[in-house]
Amino acid sequence: MTSRRDFFKAASIAGGAVSAATVGRFALAGLPEPVIQSKPDTMPPLVPNTGRPYNPVVTLNGWTLPWRMNQGVKEFHLVAEPVVREMAPGFKAHLWGYNGQSPGPTIEVVEGDRVRIFVTNKLPEHTSVHWHGQRVPSGMDGVSGLTQKPIKPGQTFVYEFVARRPGSFMYHPHADEMTQMAMGMMGLWITHPKEKHPLIDEVNRDFCFLLNAFDIDPGSYTPKTMTMLDFNLWSWNSRIFPGIDSLNVRLNDKVRIRVGNLTMTNHPIHLHGHEFMVTGTDGGPIPQTARWPEVTTDVAVGQMRQIEFVADEEGDWALHCHKSHHTMNAMGHNVPTMIGVDHRDIGKKINSLIPDYMVMGERGMADMSEMEMPIPDNTIPMMTGEGPFGSVEMGGMFSVLKVRKDQKQGDYKNPGWYKHPAGTVAQPYKGAVAKPTRSSSAGGQSMPRAQKPSKDFEVQIRKPTAHSEH
């Protein structure tokens, strides 16, 4: 990553055409040097050393883009370019993004800031940047062909506007959007309040991440950009479990989590061990009278949701999408179900000859981890992640909230696994077990059938050949 000292020096980029509507006196200064980050780690919060102060966010498996002050204007430099993103250890994808990563860096400003964003296009096709959810002049809205000319390869455009209202926002292309967003082009924008706000609480920890999805065949590197429904990788900030970092907080911290959805379907985000309030959307903070406690909130396509809670329960708590297929990696859509069929021995033999052979075991998909089936080089098992008690058997949109009383203020390091007090972990029961009560009837009906069948029969259910809206 380019050093912040170097970043805050003015620099120019040779050969880039600068184009835009009339925007202040931007032409009087050279472009800021672009800052590039390729590590997939969660970077520490970027504490502002120029401009108005604010409490910075922590981007899960991401980072915040530095800026320079130029005559009272905050200047940023985004570079749209092909990137290689490690989605999990041992699995890398060839994506498009900004400044070395997908998603691009989070941009943080303060309400009332005048901002100037230089956008350099290093993609093989034209692009633009839309500032999703923000109030900007029409000519700065970033819709190619409607509000501006496209940014051609090799060109640099400049956007300039005032961050008019606080909240959680996104940025993404509005040019060949289907291709470019399917390739991972997106990022977060956070506007902090300039002063105490009656509807925006101060928090101790402020996390943010984007929901995105890809269709990448096991063993390949590049997403299929024409996929509309059958995605096989559901990710947070282009990372899949176990490659998603944990959210590490101190006991009794006030925690805010900002989640944006740029996939093709909705995601019910569920937190274990705590209740939260949905306090904001990309439309702004929610009035106190419109809030209620939840443990799951649905984040629909194109939406931001901001949740807040007090982390008052120590432990390791799951945080995940509650759609089961979204917590699995490289999910196949035409995998036969063999529940009730003991095929494990024959399955191992077939798999030694046909590596792609895969069926659900007689007891469920957990059998697959026992079979230790070989997988292509550049992919990751469907269910993975090793916890303190064995396999977690999850993937995709799954992480862990780690609450610790000895976590220091401002310390985001992973504290390791929770040490449970004696007597607080579920254990095998060794006593006598009474016979359980079971239902002996399928239930009655409101009125008898007019015509009864000549004999009882059992419905045979056939699995559909494809999934949709999952």
Q: Between these two residues, 25 and 316, which has the higher pLDDT value?
A: 316
Q: Which two tokens stand for residue 177?
A: 């959007």
How confident is the prediction for the chain on average, in pLDDT? 86
Decide: 309 and 293 in contact? Cβ < 8 Å. no
Q: Convert 32-47 to b/e letters by CB count within 10 Å (16 or more is b).
A: bbbbebeebebbebbe
Average pLDDT over residues 94-118: 98
Band of residue 465 on the pLDDT scale cut at 50, 70, 90 = low
pLDDT single digits (tens) 19-74: 444 344 444 458 999 999 989 999 999 999 999 999 999 999 999 999 999 999 99
Cα 434 from chain centroid?
46
- Is the model's pLDDT at 3 over the cut of 80? no
Per cent of the chain over pLDDT 90 is 70
Residues 6+ apart with CB under 8 A from 216: 93, 222, 223, 224, 232, 233, 330
Alpha-carbon gap, residue 387 to 449, rounded angstroms: 53
For the segment 117-145, the average pLDDT, to the nearest whole number, is 98
pLDDT, tens only, 364-374: 555 554 445 55
Q: Note the pLDDT of residue 378.
A: 76
Q: Which residue has the tokens 């370019």?
A: 81
CA distances from 212 to 209, 216, 393 (A): 10, 13, 21
Q: How far apart are CA 167 and CA 203, in angstroms?
A: 14
Model confidence at 450, pLDDT cuts 50, 70, 90, reads: confident
Quick: pLDDT tens for 148-163.
Answer: 999 999 999 999 999 9
pLDDT digits (tens, 9 = 90+) for 165-222: 999 999 999 999 999 999 999 999 999 999 999 999 999 999 999 999 999 988 889 9
DSSP string, 272-309: SS--EEEEEETTEEPPGGG--EESEEEE-TT-EEEEEE
Model confidence at 4: pLDDT above 50: no
- For the segment 124-132, the average pLDDT, to the nearest whole number, is 98
Question: Cα–Cα distances in Å, from 307 out to 24, 70, 117, 294, 299?
Answer: 37, 35, 28, 9, 11
Higher pLDDT, 453 or 173: 173
